[in-house]
């Protein structure tokens, strides 16, 4: 707007001013070029500054939880330092609390105690731990055993998770007999849960629990609850790669969640998914895997066979209300593959985006209708500059092409090309066509008409 006003002012005050129809006067063309380009620039700059304003109207707190996992909470408000500190503190406390109860990396969590205990009696745990185990068992049943929190001994045998916290590569992989032996102590049907009083029970003494594939999602849901308790209705929560968003971004759009391309050596966003009162959790085999004898072993294990997933599914992303549910199903989808998972996603009303790779390493993706439709728009500062420069170059190109057409038609004026400008008076209420010092035949006629209209108007004003 500002740039348009600045350019428009000299158009009416300076004489001689030539509309585009007056082809012999180069100033007119020049002004059009400047005007169009300035408008493009103004538009692009206003988009850039609105993106900056977008960021200014939100507040983000971030930190670390469950060891190396990053978390971020963004609320759709500008917060005071005190409110910001309170938000960060409460979120961190909630996450540390979950870690104390559910981690397999700490010595005294409910889960570590349960794993060490060889008793087949009920073992008391915190209500929250029992609730998460209850949900996990429900998803185990629904996923026909593809999601299973008793998978721990297999994860350890394949040298993932707490058994290999540094991710060291060890060429030894378990043999078929070892896997069969381990399968005797794996299986969700060998685990029971009760909520009153909260307790867990194992049917085989060396059964172990591993909540890694549901805990991050659960943590996201709990952080969202903290944000709501503190009175925030618009927020975006992220723990690891699992997210949940509520309300709208203050810029009047949905929050956007980036879903990666399943690439091992680089991070690249594949989809930007708009979220409102919804969660997205994504699993993949492209970050945590080992290559032994040219074979890829992913950290997701099929609990029914005892072997890691075979590399067919590279990424699975689930969209649904609760992030704990999305997280567990994303792991299940890695095991189940696209066909079975599409069927179960429809049955359990889950949004599904699944990427498979073929033998040549090419990706193919499938998305169902419940998965939010990704947006194409990119609101980061970099691409905005590209748009801005592109729009300006395009505007110059169009203006030059227009002028070339004029030259090709032997400088003949194009009738009416000054459009409504003849009717736009300057401060002395004269039209641009009257002000022109060297008018074409067409402009002369327009000028005469404008002059007659002005004189009639002035005469009538005089009467009143």
Note the residues at the interface with ligand ADP (CB under 6 A): 147-149, 151, 155, 160-161, 210, 212-213, 216, 283-284, 299-301, 303, 330-331, 335
Q: Which residue is nearest to ligand ADP (CB)?
A: 283
Residue 434's φ and ψ, nearest 5 degrees, are -75, -30
Instruction: Check if the beta carbon of residue 134 is closer than 8 Å to that of residue 191.
Output: no
Q: Is 322 in the site for Mg ion (CB under 5 A)?
A: no
- Which of ligand ADP, Mg ion, none does 20 bind, CB closer than 5 to 8 A by kind? none
- Which of Mg ion, ligand ADP, none does 260 bind, CB closer than 5 to 8 A by kind? none
Site string for Mg ion, 42-71 (x = CB under 5 A): ------------------------------
Q: Is 238 in the site for Mg ion (CB under 5 A)?
A: no
Q: Which is nearer to Mg ion, 65 or 213 (CB)?
A: 213
- Which of ligand ADP, Mg ion, none does 147 bind, CB closer than 5 to 8 A by kind? ligand ADP
Q: Which two tokens stand for residue 181?
A: 């032996």
Site string for Mg ion, 249-288 (x = CB under 5 A): ----------------------------------x-----
Report the residue from 110, 327, 434, 442 that binds Mg ion according to the rule CB under 5 A: 327
Q: Which is nearer to ligand ADP, 227 or 335 (CB)?
A: 335
Q: Which is nearer to ligand ADP, 11 or 135 (CB)?
A: 135
- Which of ligand ADP, Mg ion, none does 151 bind, CB closer than 5 to 8 A by kind? ligand ADP
Q: Which of 141, 172, 140 is nearest to 156 (CA)?
A: 172
Q: Which is nearer to ligand ADP, 120 or 288 (CB)?
A: 288
- Which of Mg ion, ligand ADP, none does 329 bind, CB closer than 5 to 8 A by kind? none
Query: Which residues, numbered 184-213, are part of the site for Mg ion (CB under 5 A)?
Result: 213
Q: Shortest Cβ distance from residue 175 to ligand ADP (Å)?
A: 20
Quote the CA–CA distance of 397 and 405 in Å, as a whole number. Answer: 12
Q: Which is nearer to ligand ADP, 22 or 214 (CB)?
A: 214
Quote the CA–CA distance of 125 and 400 in Å, as a whole number. Answer: 75
Q: Which two tokens stand for residue 290?
A: 């080992």
CB atoms within 10 A of CB 72: 15
Q: Which of 270, 269, 215, 276 is nearest to 242 (CA)?
A: 215
Q: Which is nearer to Mg ion, 241 or 270 (CB)?
A: 241
Q: Which is nearer to ligand ADP, 318 or 418 (CB)?
A: 318
Q: Shortest Cβ distance from residue 143 to ligand ADP (Å)?
A: 9
- Which of Mg ion, ligand ADP, none does 179 bind, CB closer than 5 to 8 A by kind? none
Which residue is it, tokens 């070029």?
A: 33
Q: Which residues pair with 44 in a beta bridge?
A: none
Residues touching Mg ion, count (CB under 5 A): 3
- Which of ligand ADP, Mg ion, none does 234 bind, CB closer than 5 to 8 A by kind? none
- Which of ligand ADP, Mg ion, none does 299 bind, CB closer than 5 to 8 A by kind? ligand ADP
Residues at the site binding Mg ion, with contacts judged by CB under 5 A: 213, 283, 327
């Amino acid at each position: 707007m500002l740039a348009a006003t600045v350019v428009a002012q000299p158009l009416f005050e300076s004489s001689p001013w030539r509309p585009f129809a007056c082809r012999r006067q180069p100033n007119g063309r020049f002004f059009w070029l400047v005007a169009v380009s300035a408008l493009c620039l103004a538009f692009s700059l206003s988009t850039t500054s609105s993106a900056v304003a977008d960021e200014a109207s939100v507040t983000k707190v971030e930190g670390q939880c469950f060891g190396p996992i990053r978390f971020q909470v963004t609320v759709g408000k500008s917060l005071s330092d005190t409110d910001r500190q309170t938000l960060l503190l409460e979120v961190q406390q909630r996450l540390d609390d979950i870690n104390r109860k559910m981690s397999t990396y700490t010595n005294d969590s409910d889960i570590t105690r349960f794993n060490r205990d060889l008793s087949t009696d009920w073992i008391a745990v915190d209500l929250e731990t029992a609730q998460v185990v209850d949900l996990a068992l429900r998803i185990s049943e629904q996923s026909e055993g593809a999601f299973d929190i008793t998978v721990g001994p297999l994860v350890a045998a394949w040298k993932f998770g707490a058994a290999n916290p540094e991710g060291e590569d060890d060429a030894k992989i378990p043999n078929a007999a070892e896997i069969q032996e381990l399968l005797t102590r794996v299986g969700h049907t060998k685990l029971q849960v009760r909520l009153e009083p909260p307790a867990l029970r194992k049917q085989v003494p060396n059964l172990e629990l591993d909540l890694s594939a549901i805990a991050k999602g659960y943590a996201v849901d709990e952080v969202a609850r903290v944000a709501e308790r503190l009175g925030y209705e618009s927020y975006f929560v992220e723990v690891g790669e699992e997210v949940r968003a509520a309300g709208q971004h203050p810029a009047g759009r949905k929050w956007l969640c980036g879903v990666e391309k399943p690439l091992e050596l680089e991070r690249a966003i594949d989809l930007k998914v708009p979220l409102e009162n919804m969660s997205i959790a994504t699993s993949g085999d492209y970050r945590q895997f080992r290559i032994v004898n040219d074979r890829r072993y992913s950290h997701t294990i099929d609990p029914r066979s005892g072997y890691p997933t075979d590399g067919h599914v590279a990424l699975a992303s689930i969209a649904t209300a609760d992030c704990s549910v999305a997280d567990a199903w994303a792991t299940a989808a890695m095991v189940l593959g696209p066909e079975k998972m599409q069927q179960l996603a429809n049955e359990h009303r889950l949004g599904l985006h699944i990427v498979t790779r073929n033998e040549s390493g090419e990706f193919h993706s499938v998305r169902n209708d419940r998965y939010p439709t990704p947006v194409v728009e990119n609101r980061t500062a970099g691409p905005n500059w590209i748009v801005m420069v592109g729009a300006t170059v395009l505007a110059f190109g169009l203006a030059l092409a227009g002028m070339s057409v004029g030259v090709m038609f032997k400088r003949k004026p194009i009738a009416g090309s000054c459009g409504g400008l003849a009717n736009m008076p300057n401060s002395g209420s004269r039209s641009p066509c009257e002000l022109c010092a060297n008018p074409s035949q067409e402009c002369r006629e327009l000028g005469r008409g404008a002059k007659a209209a002005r004189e009639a108007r002035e005469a009538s004003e005089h009467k009143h």
